């Protein structure tokens, strides 16, 4: 089938089986009082930021694969169809709910600092952070974890062969994908960076050096080669074999740090998720080196003591309360969060209800506390923005939530020559210098200082909410520092404000991260509300959209999916 026909038929099947999936049974599936409606399914669902990849996952589910099989196929497909965030050259986190064992596990495939990394590696001769070196150089790259993470999950919890699951991605890379308006715009946005790297330019810019245009076909021949290598040899192709050799050679040629020893030393870890409770629901989310799970739970604990539903969704009082809740959480993040293999993160203290009680007492319902009055508190003795998230649920009751990333849109914008693989700039998520914010304005200290083998602190927050022991909500989002608050608001919108999952995704969001002391509001929150917030002392700022949540809600034996409308091309595929 030609690429164009493949694309069109995928879209058609999404329309037939996914985006407008008909109700399977009689009874009120849709509530006509609702402004927005989710996609409905019964046997399987994938929500992702790129609809072709959602369809790849759904096809796996229809072939009898489980949610982990589908998640692996989607992870590789997104590397081709959503190159700004889907990846082989980055890393991330996967939460897996195993229905048979009624167990949830957290898989960590975050990048690791190479052996040659050191604490002051981004400081210039004046002791200032060299932002270009930290973000756009061969020194910005952490040892990628995605290929290892996908295989770890598949070997332990999947049922299908890697070879089979890689096929759709390899075909999309080899035959090409239709360049959409959004892909063309994404490329245009970073064109200047692409021009600096021959390997990147050769793929993502036309032969005359201009960005690919909507309607053209983007073929990724080298990426197809890499996918074929992985299909043949498994993750060893990347960490010990030909892909690794090409990557290491490219690094050596450009003075980068990652060598074959670094690749061979890469390790995936598995742990318990971090668990919380909120109004009769159990919350499972990603533990450190993500800060996401800890702070979502910390903020829910604080909010549990307030009548959130009564205060009204996006009312001035409700937004004020959220901002005051977010500030101490992000202040704590700056001090206490880092890679637990290197730093003793006080997780149980931060997520304890007693600590939340203390923090809650400091919140005034009338006035905003200036961020300068707030510092990291003392939880002891209790213990690009272009990331992307996808959620999967299968016919067996299993669920998977994956958030993975290159950090910035297209990462460093450097492709390792001969591999087609874009390299991450995750090293910028470390704290290069205490008090110096990273690209998301986030501060950090000792806990997140650079060390060889350490993983940079993340905000990625793949999350599951359980009701009566069963998964009820699978969610997550990209958005750098705003990931944590986007996930928080999805949970509040569902649990407190009783929204359906499409409404929960569509409604305007807010964000506060302590520093800078700004209450960020999306469009759609009224000017009256904004003025009330200012009168309470908030420094309000209108922002671009925040997040791109990809969620599935399980209710009444059905699956309700919503791909955030904030980013074009996202879509739920349902069966």
Query: Binding of ligand GLY at residue 459 (CB under 6 A)?
Result: yes
- CB of 536 vs ligand GLY, minimal distance in Å: 30
Residue 429 or 517: which CB sits closer to ligand GLY?
A: 429
Interaction between residue 140 and ligand GLY (CB under 6 A): no
Chain centroid to Cα 117, Å, comes to 25
Out of 47, 81, 387, 419, the active site residue is 387
Which residue bears the tokens 């690429």?
Answer: 3
Q: Does residue 482 carry a catalytic annotation? A: no
| DSSP per-residue string spanning 134-186 | HHHSTTSPPBP-HHHHHHHHHHHH--S-HHHHHHHHHHHHHH-EEPPHHHHHH
From residue 462 to residue 481, the character string flagging contacts with ligand GLY as x (rule: CB under 6 A) and all else as - is ------------------x-
Residue 282: φ, ψ to 5°: -100, 140
Choose among 440, 550, 478: nearest CA to 46. Answer: 550
Considering only 245-253, 328-336, 458-466, 497-505, which stretch makes contact with ligand GLY by CB under 6 A?
A: 458-466
Q: What number of residues does the chain have?
A: 575
Q: How far apart are CA 179 and CA 531, in angstroms?
A: 43
Q: What is d(CA 378, CA 332) in angstroms, rounded to the nearest whole number?
A: 8
CA distance 326 to 300: 10
Nearest to 456 by CA among 440, 466, 444: 444
Residue found under tokens 């690749």: 263
Spatial contact of 262 and 240, defined as CB atoms under 8 Å apart: no
d(CA 321, CA 327): 10
Using rule CB under 6 A, residue 405 touches ligand GLY: yes
Q: Lay out the site mask for ligand GLY across 176-215 (x = CB under 6 A, - = otherwise).
A: ----------------------------------------
Interaction with ligand GLY in 410-429: which residues (CB under 6 A)? 426, 429
Nearer of residues 259 and 431 to ligand GLY, judged by Cβ: 431
Distance CA 147, CA 242 (A): 14
Q: How far is the CB of 289 from ligand GLY (least distance, A)?
A: 9
Q: What residues from 379 to 398 belong to the interface with ligand GLY (CB under 6 A)?
A: 387
Q: How far is the CB of 499 from ligand GLY (least distance, A)?
A: 26
Q: Does 66 bind ligand GLY (CB under 6 A)?
A: no
Q: What is the C-alpha to C-alpha distance for residues 409 and 528, in angstroms, rounded to an integer? A: 35
Pairwise CA distance, residues 468 & 440, whole Å: 37
Least distance (Å) between residue 264 CB and ligand GLY: 24
Nearer residue to ligand GLY within complex by CB, 329 or 495: 329
By C-beta, is 234 or 476 nearer to ligand GLY? 476
Q: Which of 104, 298, 407, 485 binds ligand GLY (CB under 6 A)?
A: 407
Site size for ligand GLY (CB under 6 A): 9
- Least distance in angstroms from the C-beta of 381 to ligand GLY: 28
Cβ-count burial of 508 within 10 angstroms (0-12 exposed, 13-18 middle, 19+ buried)? middle
Residues near ligand GLY, by CB under 6 A: 387, 405, 407, 426, 429, 458-460, 480
Residues assigned a catalytic role: 387
């Amino acid at each position: 089938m030609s690429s164009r026909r493949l694309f069109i038929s995928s879209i058609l099947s999404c329309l037939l089986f996914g985006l407008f999936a008909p109700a399977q049974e009689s009874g009120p599936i849709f509530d006509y009082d609702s402004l927005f409606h989710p996609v409905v399914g019964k046997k399987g669902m994938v929500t992702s930021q790129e609809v072709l990849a959602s369809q790849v996952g759904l096809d796996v589910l229809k072939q009898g694969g489980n949610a982990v099989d589908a998640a692996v196929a989607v992870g590789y497909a997104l590397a081709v169809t959503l190159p700004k965030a889907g990846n082989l050259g980055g890393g991330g986190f996967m939460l897996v709910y195993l229905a048979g064992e009624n167990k949830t596990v957290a898989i960590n495939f975050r990048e690791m600092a190479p052996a040659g990394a050191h604490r002051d590696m981004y400081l210039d001769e004046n002791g200032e952070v060299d932002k270009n070196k930290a973000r756009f150089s061969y020194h910005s790259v952490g040892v990628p974890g995605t290929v290892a993470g996908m295989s770890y999950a598949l070997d332990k919890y999947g049922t299908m062969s890697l070879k089979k699951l890689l096929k759709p991605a390899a075909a999309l890379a080899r035959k090409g994908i239709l360049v959409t308006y959004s892909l063309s715009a994404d490329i245009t946005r970073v064109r200047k960076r692409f021009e600096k790297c021959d390997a990147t330019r050769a793929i993502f810019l036309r032969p005359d050096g201009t960005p690919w245009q909507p309607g053209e076909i983007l073929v990724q021949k080298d990426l197809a080669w890499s996918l074929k290598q992985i299909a043949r040899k498994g993750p060893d192709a990347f960490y010990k074999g030909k892909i690794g050799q090409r990557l290491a050679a490219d690094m050596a040629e450009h003075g980068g740090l990652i060598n074959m020893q670094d690749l061979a030393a890469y390790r995936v870890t598995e742990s318990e998720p971090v668990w919380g409770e909120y109004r009769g629901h159990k919350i499972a989310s990603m533990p450190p080196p993500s800060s996401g799970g800890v702070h979502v739970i910390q903020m829910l604990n604080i909010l549990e003591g307030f009548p959130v539903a009564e205060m009204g969704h996006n009312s001035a009082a409700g937004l004020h309360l959220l901002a005051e809740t977010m500030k101490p959480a992000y202040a704590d993040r700056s001090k206490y969060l880092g890679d637990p293999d290197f730093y003793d993160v006080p997780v149980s203290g931060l997520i304890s209800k007693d600590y939340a009680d203390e923090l809650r007492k400091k919140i005034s319902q009338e006035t905003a506390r200036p961020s300068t009055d707030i510092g990291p508190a003392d939880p002891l003795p209790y213990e690009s923005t272009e990331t992307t998230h996808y959620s999967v649920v299968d016919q067996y009751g299993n669920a998977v939530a994956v958030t993975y990333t290159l950090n910035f849109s297209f990462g460093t914008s450097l492709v390792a020559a001969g591999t087609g693989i874009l390299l991450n700039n995750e090293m910028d998520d470390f704290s290069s210098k205490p008090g110096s914010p990273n690209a998301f304005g986030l501060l950090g200290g000792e806990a997140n200082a650079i060390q060889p083998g350490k993983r940079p602190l993340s905000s990625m927050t793949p999350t599951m909410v359980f009701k009566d022991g069963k998964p009820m909500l699978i969610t997550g989002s990209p958005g750098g520092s705003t990931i944590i608050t986007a996930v928080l608001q999805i949970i509040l919108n569902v649990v407190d404000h009783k929204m359906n999952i499409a409404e929960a995704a569509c409604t305007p969001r807010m964000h506060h991260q302590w520093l800078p002391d700004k209450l960020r509001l999306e469009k759609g929150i009224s000017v009256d509300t904004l003025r009330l917030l200012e009168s309470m002392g908030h420094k309000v700022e209108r922002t671009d959209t925040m997040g791109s949540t990809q969620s599935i809600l399980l209710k009444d034996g059905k699956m309700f999916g919503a791909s955030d409308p904030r980013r074009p091309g996202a879509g739920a595929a349902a069966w």
